[in-house]
Structure 1
Amino acid sequence: MWSDDDVRDAAAEWTWIPDGSRVHDDELLIVQRPAWVGGHVAVEGVRSARPASELIDRAATVASEWADDALEWAVSDRDDPALDAALLARGATLMEQLDVLALPLDRALGLPAGAGARRVATRDDVLAVGRINTAVWANAEPDEARIAEVLREEQEGSGFRILAELDGEVVSTGGVTLAPGPRGTVARLWGAATLEHARGRGAYRAVLAERLRLAAEAGATLALVKGRIATSAPILTRAGFRRYGGERRYRLPL
């Protein structure tokens, strides 16, 4: 059902804008995320054929007005190739490289031996997710308002979060957002994180398997993920995901 162009279109429609973000949306989509995920300003989309240098100037102005001292920028394979070179020429550094990966949801993955996974449903579960994200991503621990917000999101049915355990310890998490796509519902996989001492033991794959199972039950026909080349992308490829493009994220000091 899903052509290569369909998958790429679905990936191009995916931008994460958490509740509480500040958004500038014209020829550039610029987002300042809330403090619990760092509060940084980032360009998440380009809708202009203007020269790269002019776009960088415009984004830097917005970031400075929002009192940030750096600007992150997501550049996809669909963007003007000159943008990468222009950012590097301005002194930007490459933060991470991502593969755009997808898998039709027509088969299940088995849980690794010794690993268990479950859907987030309680306050303690949200706190467990927060502890993992603090350890891995340096996110702020969730306060009571954030805990209530996550539990509300879990009840709304537009997505879910998963926790995985090894030997009775919660060590890994990951989320899913269900979104419309050109050929049906897309399961956008995001936020996978595993505590360092538990890596390489199947916890990430347990989170992945449960996310795919629940997404298929919810009617999704495609799983889509932007996997880090250095960490999750090889695991996803071994699980059957196929690459459809790439994305680079840069950090430009202002």
Structure 2
Amino acid sequence: MSFSDAQLDRYARHIVLKEIGGAGQSRLLSSHVLLIGAGGIGSPAIQYLAAAGFGRLTIVDDDVVDLANLQRQTLFDTGDIGDSKAETACAAVARLNPDVECAAVTERLQPANAARLLAGADVVIDGSDNFATRLTVSDACVAERIPLVSAALGMFQGQIGLFRGHESGQPCYRCYVGDAFDAEDCDTCSELGVLGAMAGIMGSWAAMEAIRAVTGFGPDQAGNIHIFNGTAPTMRSVRIVKDPACKGCDRA
């Protein structure tokens, strides 16, 4: 595709990167990213996805902005309290970058609607806060053959991984966490707390991995989990192997 003069200026810092270039920026402008959750992970991710010039951004979140969110969800402000997170986020995207078409979905992703919501996505970012949703997203990504960036945070720690469980030999998110637990049992920020700046780190990182998945810059990160400890700070990476008994990707 050809760029307008305004786009050449807006994306110049991407275009001059030999690992992305004009071809990579074109792929971003023609790609669709689906974001599950506009909270701690989603809030910063949305800003960098929009700034990067993803052509389509779908935000799935059935929650509203709460005062307690504002310590870490910097996309929102005090005047947004009580408003839909997805709709408020899409309004922010429109202000950030007119190149991006944003759709707000104010329903909770569940097994019954997952395939419909994921249809047409080139990459999915999951920033949800419970295992039930995370496993549903993972299974749907495998079924629809869509790369999944899964990010999570709590207290002073964050973790992120790219999964392509639909590919032979590649693990899915279910291979990582298993399913022998109560899928609704997940610690929350309200119970344990979270350093607000950690959300910025992990959300920005999730956006970077989505850009990597589309443009292909750098080494392939599929199947790797990166764990960041903000107290030290330190980071370690763990390679996940495909579970041959995994019911989420057992046919891949």
Pick the TM interval, shorter chain.
under 0.3
Which structure's relative contact order is higher, taking Cα pairs within 8 Å and 6+ residues apart?
1
Q: Report the TM-score when normalising by structure 1.
A: 0.27
Q: Report the TM-score when normalising by structure 2.
A: 0.27
Q: Which has the larger radius of gyration?
A: 1
Greater share of helix: 2
